[in-house]
Amino acid sequence: MSNGKKRNLLNDDTPFMITEAYKTARTNLMFSLSTGERKVVVITSSNPSEGKSTTCSNLGLTLASMGAHTLIIDADLRKPTIHKMFGIPNKKGLSTILGGFDKIDDSIEYSVRENLDIISSGPIPPNPADLLASDLMDSLLKALSKHYDYILIDTPPINVVTDSQLMNNIISGIIFVVWEGLTTHTDINAALRSIKMASGKVLGFIKANCNAKGAKNYKGNYKYSYARKSQRKKV
């Protein structure tokens, strides 16, 4: 695991402002899911390199830190990242479970952090969309939901491929990550149209790389907000 990946994960040296921002996101997410039975959330973005995998990982760490039994699933079966971030093997994972090659229990990395388990992507398959839209994916999430308080699923960017939209009927909703100064409202609107056409539900936005007031020397803050319109061309 590279030093860059290590720095992206929350740890004892993470600035207070980042840690608190993720705690705020965690609280808002918990409220968003409080009335539903299944607490399965997709984390996505409109385009690559907008912080979705980092956000998914750190939300998982933040939920686990409060004692919630949490599972992260890397469902980006085209360009997986989660195993690199945590430095775990990737010979088995989601693709080998859905392909019928490995059992669920044999493919989960248990206790990667306290209260946090991970299912990595597994080897990149030739048919990622078919696997994610399969009845096996539905059955897998139903089975896992019985054992975890929260399940976070990292998926490919919506404007690149529509893999995340294939799971809308089996998830609680979507958290949409945007990168300040990079993600445009054109990008967001295109993604939201795709979500709406697939009858998806956006739980809220997390904006990455934003500068907080009073912290001019610090970059990389995160904040959570519910979906709302804005007139700015970039976020």
Say if residues 62 and 54 touch (Cβ distance below 8 Å).
Answer: no
Task: Choose the weakest-confidence range: 126-135, 140-149, 157-166.
Answer: 157-166
DSSP state letter for 39: -
**pLDDT class of 35 with cuts at 50, 70, 90:** confident
Say if residues 55 and 175 touch (Cβ distance below 8 Å).
Answer: yes
Q: Is the pLDDT of residue 223 over 50?
A: no
Can you give the pTM of this predicted structure? 0.88
DSSP state letter for 165: G
Q: Which residues are 179's β-sheet partners?
A: 208
Say if residues 123 and 78 touch (Cβ distance below 8 Å).
Answer: no
Residue appearing with tokens 């980092």: 54
What pLDDT score was predicted for residue 7?
A: 56
Q: Is the pLDDT of residue 231 over 70?
A: no
Enter the tokens of residue 8.
């992206």
- The string of pLDDT tens digits covering residues 53-103 is 999 999 999 999 999 999 999 999 999 999 999 999 999 999 999 999 999
**How many CA atoms within 13 Å lie on the side-chain side of 10?**
23
**pLDDT class of 215 with cuts at 50, 70, 90:** very low
d(CA 135, CA 21) in angstroms, rounded, equals 36
- The string of pLDDT tens digits covering residues 101-141 is 999 999 999 999 999 999 999 999 999 999 999 999 999 99
C-alpha 141, offset from chain centre: 15
Phi/psi for 176 (5° steps) reads -105, 120
d(CA 23, CA 224) in angstroms, rounded, equals 10
The runs of H, that is alpha helices, within 39-184 are 52-65, 82-86, 94-98, 104-107, 128-132, 135-145
